Amino acid sequence: MIQARRLPRNHVHDGQDDPAKKSQNVKRVLITGMSGAGKSSLLQELAARGYQTVDTDYGDYFQTVDGESLWREDRISALLSSVPDELPGVLFVQGTTRNQVLFYPRFDHIVLLSAPAEILAERLATRTTNPYGKDPAELAETLHYQQTVEPLLRVSATLEVVTTVPVARVADLILDHVL
């Protein structure tokens, strides 16, 4: 069974309070979730279908502040402002960090990707594109965040997709939601 749930959008983060965004033709979609949930694979699938995608794990979008990896607010703000208005479509941005909440009003949709703990553990152990999660301490951290952070992400998400289905199906579900 495919699990995708449309979630009521938290009125505080309804995306309508950014006057600059109201006139723009481009929908901005945040793809968020735990390490191993399939965010990067989803972005590859969406890019292959011709959509604009940005993986904030790369490209100097993060900075370390007091030992914590946070989005560089100047870079994320510039990214969200730089999408050409003349090119209608969708911009998919991938990332999960504590200060992403500052940008929720600038996104039209917030999509949470989730997966059962055993699937996350398997994906982290076997993936070849990113070393994070192979160390037992990193795996434990991810599973801890799944219990403590994922519920917070769920509160502001407009859609949650459990990524136990092929990535092409995940992309279809998300496109059905945002288009």
Is the separation of the CB atoms in 29 and 93 below 8 Å?
yes
Give the pairing of strands 68-71 and 62-65: antiparallel
In CATH, which of 2.20.28.160, 3.40.50.300, 2.140.10.10, 3.40.50.720 is domain 4-178?
A: 3.40.50.300
Query: Tens-of-pLDDT digits for all 179 residues of the chain?
Result: 456 555 554 444 444 445 444 446 789 999 999 999 999 999 999 999 999 999 999 989 999 999 899 999 999 999 998 876 655 689 999 999 999 999 999 999 999 999 999 999 999 999 988 888 899 999 999 999 999 999 999 999 999 999 999 999 999 999 999 99
pTM for the full predicted model = 0.86
